[in-house]
Amino acid sequence: MTITEAEVLNALKTVQDPDLRRDIVTLGFVKDVVISESSVAFTVELTTPACPVKEELQAQCEAAVSALPGVTSVQVTMTARVRARQIQEGDLVPDVKHIIAVASGKGGVGKSTVTVNLAIALAETGARVGLMDADVYGPCIPLMMGAQDERPYTKGNKIIPIQRFGVQLMSLGFLLEEGQAVLWRGPMVAGTVKQLLADVDWGTLDYLLVDLPPGTGDAPMSLAQLVPLTGVLIVSTPHNVAANIAGKAVQLFQRLNSPILGVVENMGPYIDEDTGKEVRMFHGTDGDELAKVLKVPFLGRIPFDPRISKAGDAGVPSMITHPHTEQAEGFRHIAGQVAQQSSIIAMTRRDLTRLSEAPARP
Ligand SMILES: Nc1ncnc2c1ncn2[C@@H]1O[C@H](COP(=O)(O)OP(=O)(O)OP(=O)(O)O)[C@@H](O)[C@H]1O
Ligand SMILES: [Mg+2]
């Protein structure tokens, strides 16, 4: 009995991507089906290497095809090709597939800390990751990544990013003299944000994370107007003031037509090692409650952990210094959620475009 490609594809049509809510054949994920007597091999190309349900999908594919009569062995290769945000002609960074802004209402909630560790967590999965420090008022990414003494060089008319922990970095901090202060006016902020995008040789990136200053000032406004963002990640602490102001940031981005990827809770409850009891730093609105109120996804929680701030101050992020702790697992989980939400936004917008381009039915 010979097995046909059609039979294999038919079997794989029973496997659904849980986020995109379509089967993987219709989504075009199944590639290179090779049938040799009773052995079947094929590739499943997901939308991100950071897919949190990769193993689950692989097992489902194996099971579906193994169940076909006459099949004795199944080999599934899982790969990923990140599908891009909406990139139109004239885009400042056309080879950057996703731009994710990290914002907050209140200052000091841990945006920069979350951004650096998230960038490292995404890079760990094999994705190509850039980190742009758009906090033009107080650029601290060079310090947090132990790169404050670096000075990037230029090639042609482009600035080459600094590489640290598998992440490409650019910050105004690299371009200023030590201690140099800048007195900003609105148009200068927009100009600098534009330079950090267009004058830097970012190359091809799957994810460019942008660390913003707090609030709804010139930098987030300029960024959202200069490039179509995949989405905005809102960092908040379980503190009522932080939660209230987070809502304002969400409103601003929604007005600028940038999707909200979701809410990350930082400095959340932690387990005290001596007593084994949960300790809460703040007693206000939790991240999941805030997400519910704002009607956006909840992406995960990072506990309060002094090792995080110690690592940040020492210039080696906590994902690197303490890779096997709850905080590192938290960042990995959030990386998966960010990748997943980015895929959903990119694929949904693409589907909508495709539908609107489809010829009208006679
Ligand atoms: N989960 C955490 N546990 C303990 N300390 C943390 C945690 N997250 C951040 N911190 C510390 O809190 C301080 C503020 O963090 P960070 O600079 O990342 O905040 P921010 O939101 O970027 O601030 P700004 O609004 O000034 O840009 C830093 O000292 C950082 O090390
Ligand atoms: Mg910051």
122-141: per-residue pLDDT in tens?
999 999 999 999 998 889 99
**Ligand 1 atom 16 nearest Cα:** 110
Ligand 2 centre to CA of 157 (Å) is: 28
CA distance 86 to 95: 11
Task: Pick the atom of ligand 1 nearest to 212's CA.
Answer: 27
CA distance 51 to 125: 9
Is the per-residue pLDDT at 256 higher than 90?
no
Ligand 2 centre to CA of 57 (Å) is: 37
Is the per-residue pLDDT at 235 higher than 50?
yes
What integer pLDDT is reported at residue 356 of this predicted model?
38
What integer pLDDT is reported at residue 357 of this predicted model?
39
Helices (H), 27-183: 54-66, 111-124, 141-144, 172-175
Helix 111-124 and helix 306-314: axis angle, to 10°?
Answer: 80
The residue among 98, 116, 110 whose CA lies nearest residue 235 is 110
Secondary element (H or E) of residue 235? strand 231-236
Q: Tens digit of pLDDT for each residue in 270-329?
A: 988 889 899 998 888 899 999 999 999 999 999 999 999 999 999 999 999 999 999 999
What integer pLDDT is reported at residue 350 of this predicted model?
57
Stretch 157-172: mean pLDDT, rounded?
96
Stretch 179-187: mean pLDDT, rounded?
72
- Are 215 and 75 contacting, i.e. CB atoms less than 8 angstroms apart? no
Does 113 sit in the ligand 1 pocket, CB within 6 Å? yes
Stretch 77-94: mean pLDDT, rounded?
93
Lowest mean pLDDT among 30-34, 66-70, 214-218, 357-361: 357-361
Q: Assign 228 to helix, strand or coil.
A: coil
Q: What is the CA radius of gyration of the chain?
A: 22
Stretch 107-115: mean pLDDT, rounded?
96
Domains delineated in the chain:
5-80 (3.30.300.130), 96-351 (3.40.50.300)
**Ligand 1 atom 11 nearest Cα:** 309
| Mean pLDDT score across all residues of the chain | 91
**Ligand 1 test: best mutation among 102, 111, 113, most atoms within 8 Å of CB?**
113
The residue among 305, 339, 335 whose CA lies nearest residue 322 is 305
Is the per-residue pLDDT at 191 higher than 70?
yes
Stretch 240-255: mean pLDDT, rounded?
85
Ligand 1 centre to CA of 22 (Å) is: 39
Ligand 1 centre to CA of 32 (Å) is: 46
- For 187, the token pair is 């148009």
Does 307 sit in the ligand 1 pocket, CB within 6 Å? no
- Are 252 and 108 contacting, i.e. CB atoms less than 8 angstroms apart? no
Q: What length is written for the chain?
A: 362
Does 144 sit in the ligand 1 pocket, CB within 6 Å? no
CA distance 231 to 239: 24
Lowest mean pLDDT among 26-40, 288-302, 314-328, 342-356: 342-356
pTM, full prediction: 0.90
Top mean pLDDT of 57-61, 248-252, 356-360 is at: 57-61
